Amino acid sequence: MERVLKDDAVQEKGERARMASFIGAMAIADLIKTTLGPKGMDKILQSTGRGRNVTVTNDGATILKSLHIDNPAAKVLVDISKVQDDEVGDGTTSVVVLAGELLKEAEKLVNMKIHPMTIIAGYRMALECARDTLLQKTMDNKENTDKFRTDLMNIAMTTLSSKILSQDKEYFAELAVDAVLRLKGSTNLESIQILKKPGGSLKDSFLDEGFILDKKIGIGQPKRIENAKILVANTAMDTDKVADIEAAEKQKMREKVQKIIGHGINCFVNRQLIYNFPEELFADAGILAIEHADFEGIERLALVTGGEIASTFDNPESVKLGHCKVIEEIMIGEDRLIHFSGVAMGQACTIVLRGASEHVLDEAERSLHDALCVLSQTVNDTRVLFGGGWPEMVMAKEVDELARKTPGKKSHAIDAFSRALQAIPTIIADNAGLDSAELISQLRAEHHKENCTAGIDVITGSVGDMQKLGIQESFKVKQAILLSATEAAEMILRVDEIITCAPRRREDRM
């Protein structure tokens, strides 16, 4: 075999390859484990590139995205956390921790000389059992709007309680629920804009109905327009300065401006610069001209006001204009912004975040984005579960019973799956500095009673009633965690050889 591969290729077989996979995956899980739960800690990520950017976060996906990882198995875990983030928005840490625990248990079984395929078969059975259990235990209040809103509030508060916004979680949960209910069931978060403005405290954040563009109104232009007709464009509005050309250019620009005014608009938003000359022409016509609106800004503005981005102005009838009731200038902190209210797309809104520094604002935005994602998924799939380690204990109990009924070596794997599930409440308790062994054994005893709603109450440090405390999670998030973690663990378990290829050498071209 040595002759087949090129000189620098490295090959690890059998036990060594499996060890390398297990160790890499478990190292990643251990790294991120401390950020789990309401008392999880944050990590500081510092880039070594220009500017040495610093990120302070406890969002699993953000941490793993920023790491450059060499170990192939660890990369699989980074991928599942990314997918979890894109798919449901929350549970990015849990999914990696669960996969890590499943592998930790699998390693013990492999050392007992149980074949990886047997372990995978056992995990598959356990997964089916756990998923069915969850399905039976879900609650659904979509018929009753008040109850459903309470569910959404609880889910938002549970999601936010492990983030930087945990101090004001009622306030931000209210913001997030209001924003998501305006979407009326769509999961497109494009129409919820999040603006970050340093200054003030997090409590000063607010939800604004309408759209806010981070631009100033030009000189000599109307400061307030009612019943606005808006043309959103991406076109060059600059003229040449050379003397002979200037007159011709000015004439050309004047014609262009006339064409634009001919659309019967009173507000013109352009992505590119607008020079002084066309700006004067617009001001004379009483049209508000906004230049250099960044691309995300104009894309979203077009979407929200119901217009389209235009770049040619020859046939006005084919251009779709945007509409809104009032455009005016507002002040937030020290900055002036342009506020579009009464927009065509009723579900649009802007959440303005205030905070002490850029880092706080970035983390607040990530936290809020997680909450918005989870809520928009829950509005579509209205099933909810209790939180605080309750679902894991319920699943572990059923999986345990399945292990007792199953003959053969598979039962060891099923048993291992149940231990891995219990690791999540254990870690939540450990992160809060509680005695996890004591708490988990109490929880297990509680869960042998009928219709138990017990979970870990991190605040009082004891077993609490999740129904009274209102700690709830979305079923969709839990299901995604379960499926992704098990599949990732399976994939890593199947490995028995790692071949690292040699890079192509550059020939000396001298």
Q: Is 162 left (phi over 0), alpha (psi -120 to 50) or beta?
A: alpha
Q: Average pLDDT, stretch 224-237?
A: 82
Instruction: Tokens for 304, please give them.
Output: 């929200």
Average pLDDT over residues 114-133: 93
Strands (E), 263-306: 267-270, 288-290
| Higher per-residue pLDDT: 222 or 242 | 222
Q: Is the pLDDT of residue 2 over 80?
A: no
Whether the per-residue pLDDT at 288 is higher than 90: the answer is no
pLDDT score of 507 more than 70: no
**Looking at 226-235, 292-301, 407-416, which range is the least confident one?**
292-301
Q: What is the pLDDT of residues 52-88, one digit of tens each?
A: 788 888 888 888 888 888 888 888 899 999 998 888 8
Q: How far, in Å, CA of 103 to CA of 455, rounded?
A: 25
Q: Give the Cα separation of 11 and 22 in Å (integer).
A: 17
Q: What is the DSSP string of 11-23?
A: EEEHHHHHHHHHH
Is the pLDDT reported for residue 154 higher than 70?
yes
Residue 111 or residue 166, greater confidence: 111
The whole-number average pLDDT for the span 217-245 is: 76
Predicted confidence (pLDDT) at residue 278 exceeds the cutoff of 90:
no
Is residue 10 within 8 Å of 500, Cβ to Cβ? yes
Q: How far, CA to CA in Å, does 181 sit from each of 70, 139, 148, 301, 305?
A: 43, 20, 11, 20, 19
pLDDT for 483 equals: 93
Q: Which tokens go with 497?
A: 């050889």
Name the least confident of 173-182, 336-345, 451-460.
Answer: 336-345
Catalytic residue numbers, as ranges: 59, 92-93, 370
Q: Could you tell me the pLDDT band of residue 508, with boundaries at 50, 70 and 90?
A: low
136 within 8 A of 120, measured Cβ to Cβ: no
Mean of the per-residue pLDDT values of the chain:
85
Q: Are 453 and 384 in contact (CB under 8 A)?
A: no
pLDDT at position 241 is 62
pLDDT of residue 341: 82
211-345 maps to CATH 3.40.50.2300: no
DSSP sequence for 377-406: HHHHS-EEEE-TTHHHHHHHHHHHHHHHH-
Judge contact between 152 and 185, C-beta under 8 A: no
> What's the pLDDT at 486?
94
Strands (E), 247-298: 267-270, 288-290
Q: Are 431 and 40 in contact (CB under 8 A)?
A: yes
Half-sphere exposure of 303 (CA within 13 A, CB side): 16
Query: Is the pLDDT confidence value at 395 over 60?
Result: yes
Average pLDDT over residues 311-335: 81
Beta-carbon contacts of 101 under 8 Å, excluding residues fewer than 6 positions away, are 29, 419, 420, 423, 424
Reply yes or no on whether the pLDDT at 20 is more than 80: yes
Residue 510: pLDDT band (50, 70, 90) is: low
Provide the pLDDT for residue 97.
93
Confidence of residue 244 (pLDDT cuts 50, 70, 90): low
Residue 296 class from Cβ within 10 Å (0-12 exposed, 13-18 middle, 19+ buried)?
exposed
For residue range 419-463, list pLDDT tens digits in order.
Answer: 999 999 999 999 988 898 999 999 989 888 888 888 888 888 888
Mean pLDDT to the nearest integer, 89-115: 91
C-alpha to C-alpha distance for 86 and 134, rounded to whole angstroms: 23
Of 109, 76, 351, 82, residue with least CA distance to 208: 351
* Ranges 100-104, 218-222, 237-241, most confident: 100-104
Q: With 90 as the cut, is the pLDDT of residue 238 above it?
A: no
Order across the sheet with 192-198: list the strands: 192-198, 349-355, 206-209
pLDDT band at 164; cut points 50, 70, 90: confident
Q: How far apart are CA 200 and CA 169, in angstroms?
A: 17
Among 3.30.110.70, 1.10.560.10, 1.10.1200.10, 1.10.10.10, what is the CATH number of 10-139+386-496? 1.10.560.10
Task: Please report, for the chain, the start and end positions of each structural domain, with discontinuous segments joined by +.
Answer: 10-139+386-496, 211-345
Q: How far apart are the first and last CA of the chain?
A: 34
Q: What is the CA radius of gyration of the chain?
A: 28
How do strand 54-57 and strand 211-213 relate by DSSP bridges? Answer: unpaired
